[in-house]
Chains A and B, each alone.
Chain A
Amino acid sequence: MFESLQQGLQGALKSLRGKGKLTERNMRDGLKLVEQSLLEADVSYSVVQDFVARVSERALGERVLLSLDPTQQVVGIVYEELIQLLGPVDPSLHLRGEVTVLMLCGLQGSGKTTTCGKLASLLLENKTPSMLVAADLQRPAAIDQLHVIGQQLGVAVYSDKSATDPVTLCQKAVQQARQDQIRVVILDTAGRLAIDQELMSQLTRLDRRVQPDQVYLVVDGMTGQDAVNSAKAFNDALELDGVILTKMDGDARGGALLSVKHVTGVPVKYIGTGEHLDALEPFHPDGMASRILGMGDIRQLFTEARRVVDEENQQELERKMLEGQLTLDDFRDQLERMAKPGLMQKMLGLMPGMGEAMKAIQNEDTEGGMRRLVGIINAMTREERRNPKLIDLSRRQRIAAGAGVQAQEVSQLVKQFDMMTPFMQSLAGKGLGGRLQAIRQLQQSGALDPGGRIQKVKKGTGKRLTSQERARLKKLREKELRRRRRHGDNSPE
């Protein structure tokens, strides 16, 4: 998407390089593209209008720099303005000395209950015990759900199945927390429609009577144009202190955040990036800005990578990489970490420009392939792992037999490892920026085609096919892939 935005801008602003200033007239086509891109990311119409007006105001009269082409300049301004609008960040929960009460509210199905658990998990990491309060008396089994989450985390849950009024329930819960000397109370309120006056006034009452220290609005990252309406209603009813954006592990661009931020003006605290209770991450405006523009979220990619490789291990690896002493053992360690289900897709999805690659491997069993590679390495002797050059024909046969693969796969792995080593060496010791550049280069050279490098695995079909049958199936698969690709490209621009 971003590529198409940039290409479009390039066309629209081609004639501008190095001469004159940005004017309303010569920027018009470019801004139209920005507008369209934001609308496709689900930023609300009125917010887009406002934003584009702001960008054009700022860009107007700016000299087109000789060194820069106007596209970059406009994108740069758009990006900066987006970051400014999404910031500032404030990941603190503002805990007080005594009991701090956090309240979560939002529409049905936005992810409040799960987010409650995630917050408790986060607090637990900082050795702060918390208490979850099941104030959702509406949805069947919402109380049970919170109890299950509490059990998983080992966190106290306050609930009362016979309660009818969430206000008294929450008041009692806060008292209980005081008695038990629990420092943080998290209120899980019922999901409600923004236009449901009765429930909204109940929420206002809850806010007044229980007086939570922090009120967070939980917003579904996939929300469309309506985000602006619901955010407005919640913002009017309550004094919001922050926003938590959920379900950002999918492919939603998350433009709703821009709308919500625009309406409420409160800082974005966290983003939810998965169903597991540790999938809550501090918010970074730059990552989000590029995501909304369709550039991929580089920062989250690195957070994800860091999550996989722990710090100590990483340093050891760095050292080895730098010295070019990486062995197949290290390679296996890395593979084992990467072979976690869904991880590859997640990482590739976050990588800029990798949208296509992701589609290509969508049907490949990447994790299975990695496990296979691990199996091959396991079948090697220690000597062979340390020095793959040792592997000759007969060793190769032995390894293949041991791992239950074909001999050719063994040589492919060794070749792959050989190719990676110098690259890893060049990567080591570089900062985030340098690494990114290296990855980009690699990407451009086509070397990082994950479908190509990580070996394609023949899956057991349950029956042996003749070569004709195989050829036919292959043809069918390719046809399907082409169809899918065409189909994917058919989306309206």
Chain B
Amino acid sequence: MALFDRFRRKENPVSAAEPHAEPKVAAPPEGEPSGGLLSRFGQALKKSRVLFQKDIRDLFKTDGELVDDALLDKLFARLIKTDMGTGPAQAIRDRVQQDNRGRVVRLEDVLNSVRESLRQLMAQDTAPIDLAASGPTVIMVVGVNGSGKTTSIAKLAHLFVSQGKRVVLGAGDTFRAAAVEQLVVWAQRIGAEVVTGKSGGDPASVAHRAVAQTLETQADVCIIDTAGRLQTQVNLMQQLEKIRRVIGKLIPEAPHEVLLVLDATAGQNGISQARGFSEAAGCTGIVLAKLDGTAKGGVVIPIRQQFQLPVKYIGLGEQADDLVLFDVDRFIDALLSDHDSEGGGGSEGAG
């Protein structure tokens, strides 16, 4: 557990770390030309050792700091830990380097530049769900196994019900054991109608009946659940196309929304998920579920870059009202904020 030893060492009071730091100060590794900078280098080194687990803002604290490789590496580490992937993280690192190389910068300059670029990238009008101009709105929900589809549907339905809309749920997950029951329980809790099919039955027929019932009873919103599937399962992905087609037969513009539920803990595979599901089901947006843990869901950044898929909602817990409209500013703030529990976890281990 050499890794955690390292953390432990960092938690020691600074005075204890200082003797170790001294030799490094005496011989800066890169052999920079100016001797006058030496003490500053020493400070930077010492700081970076102590501040590894802190916010990037702390890296630039006091009046300013020299942007060097060590600093950029720390920035890169923080970016990587958000799950945004090496591509975007490297791009940001390069940009910061280009803009600030060799300069002593203040916290606000660098942070603002990072935030601003991310904000621009993720910018979107916070239009939640595109409701149909007339008639009922049909929403189809897709995603991999265990990403939180059923729970997200319940939350979404709750949201509509609380807006005074009538909601019909289509229990299209006919594959997983008791998935239908799970949705029925939710429907009872939040007061929505639910259309079910036989276990192992054709999900497209459930979808068809759900939409038909929506039209018949003049409900406002119809949300179709689908079984979890990996984006590599070609035949299952074709099934999604079929569900789409069947829905479209009843209401030509439907489904009005196809939401991809993405697990916030997902790593770079999220990109492949977005690609696969967009191709098969024509996703219109993302629900980022399970954002209440320590995961930051940064993978939506490359997804936005590559597929222009906007994040519509974020899931923040297990209760029906734990669904929040995606807010760019707050998301970006949280992305770069400091509740990094890796340092915290380390301290628990040490204690």
Please report A residues at the B interface, Cβ cutoff 8 Å.
36, 39-42, 44-47, 50, 107-111, 138-142, 144-149, 152, 193-195, 220, 222-230, 232-233, 236, 247, 249-253, 255-256, 262, 265, 275, 341-342, 345, 349, 362, 367, 484, 487-488, 490-493
Contact = CB atoms under 8 A, between A and B. Distances in A.
A487 B278 CA distance: 13
A138 B318 contact: yes
Contact of B181 (A141, A224, A247, A252): A141
Which residue of A50, A232, A488 has the most chain B CB atoms within 10 A of its CB atom? Answer: A232
A176 to B, nearest CB: 22
B230 A109 contact: no
Given A109-B146, A138-B318, A341-B235, A247 B230 contact: yes
Q: Which range contains the number of B residues in contact with the other chain?
A: 35 or more
B253 to A, nearest CB: 23
A219 B189 CA distance: 30
A265 B3 CA distance: 12
Contacts of A36: 86
Contacts of B294: 194-195, 226, 229-230
A492 B267 contact: no
Which residue of B147, B186, B232, B267 has the most chain A CB atoms within 10 A of its CB atom? Answer: B267
Given A46-B342, A232-B345, A265-B1, 13 more contacts: A39-B86, A40-B268, A138-B318, A145-B177, A145-B181, A223-B266, A226-B293, A229-B295, A236-B348, A250-B232, A275-B176, A342-B234, A488-B275
Nearest to A228: B342
B95 to A, nearest CB: 14
Interface string B114-139: 00000000000000000000000000
Given A141-B185, A230-B293, A492 B86 contact: yes
9 contacts: A36-B86, A45-B81, A111-B145, A141-B185, A222-B267, A226-B293, A230-B293, A250-B272, A487-B275
Contacts of A111: 145-146
B237 to A, nearest CB: 9
Given A141-B185, A250-B231, A47 B83 contact: no
A275 B269 contact: no
A193 B234 contact: no
A110 B146 contact: yes
A275 B182 contact: no
B3 A224 contact: no
Contact of B230 (A147, A250, A255): A250
Contact of B295 (A226, A262, A492): A226
B230 A139 contact: no
Given A141-B181, A229-B341, A251 B293 contact: no
Interface of B: 1-3, 77, 80-83, 85-88, 90-91, 144-148, 175-179, 181-182, 184-186, 189, 199, 230-236, 263, 265-272, 275, 279, 290, 292-296, 299, 302, 305-306, 318, 341-342, 345-346, 348-349
Which 6 pairs show the lowest CB-CB distances between chains A and B? A492-B87, A224-B267, A109-B146, A42-B267, A148-B177, A145-B178
Which residue of A46, A140, A195, A230 has the most chain B CB atoms within 10 A of its CB atom? Answer: A140
A46 B272 contact: no
B302 A492 contact: yes
Contacts of B296: 226
Contact of B265 (A220, A249, A345): A220
B345 A247 contact: no
Contacts of B299: 224
Contacts of A194: 293-294, 341
A114 B104 CA distance: 55
B117 to A, nearest CB: 15
Contacts of B236: 342
Given A140-B185, A262-B3, A345-B234, A492 B88 contact: yes
Nearest to A255: B267
Given A41-B268, A342-B234, A108 B87 contact: no
Which residue of B147, B234, B272, B341 has the most chain A CB atoms within 10 A of its CB atom? Answer: B234
A159 to B, nearest CB: 12
Contact of B232 (A109, A144, A223, A349): A349
Given A222-B269, A232-B345, A144 B177 contact: yes
Nearest to B261: A109
B86 A275 contact: no
Given A109-B148, A223-B266, A195 B293 contact: yes
A96 B2 CA distance: 34
A20 to B, nearest CB: 22
Contacts of B82: 225
A145 B182 CA distance: 9
A46 B268 contact: no
A39 to B, nearest CB: 5
A39 B81 CA distance: 10
Nearest to B89: A39
Contact of A139 (B176, B182, B266, B270): B182
A249 B77 CA distance: 29
B59 to A, nearest CB: 15
A155 to B, nearest CB: 13
Contact of A140 (B145, B175, B182): B182
Contacts of B263: 109, 220, 222
Contacts of B85: 39-40, 492
B56 to A, nearest CB: 14
A108 B177 contact: no
A142 B189 CA distance: 16
A136 B337 CA distance: 33
Given A45-B80, A222-B144, A247-B145, A490 B269 contact: no
B178 A144 contact: yes
Contacts of A138: 318
Which residue of A227, A229, A342 has the most chain B CB atoms within 10 A of its CB atom? Answer: A229
B269 A140 contact: no
Contacts of A233: 341, 345
A223 B181 contact: no
A379 B176 CA distance: 39
Contacts of B306: 490-491
A341 B341 CA distance: 43
B145 A109 contact: yes
A247 B270 CA distance: 13
B81 A225 contact: yes
A393 to B, nearest CB: 37
Nearest to A106: B146
Given A47-B3, A144-B178, A42 B147 contact: no
A145 B180 CA distance: 10
Given A225-B80, A229-B341, A193 B144 contact: no
A152 B235 CA distance: 24
B35 to A, nearest CB: 25
A30 B74 CA distance: 20
B342 A229 contact: yes
Nearest to B143: A109
Given A40-B268, A109-B263, A251 B232 contact: yes
B267 A145 contact: no
B339 to A, nearest CB: 9
Contacts of B292: 193
A488 B295 CA distance: 26
A194 B348 CA distance: 13
A342 B83 contact: no
Contacts of A367: 235
Contacts of A44: 81
Contact of B269 (A46, A251, A488): A251
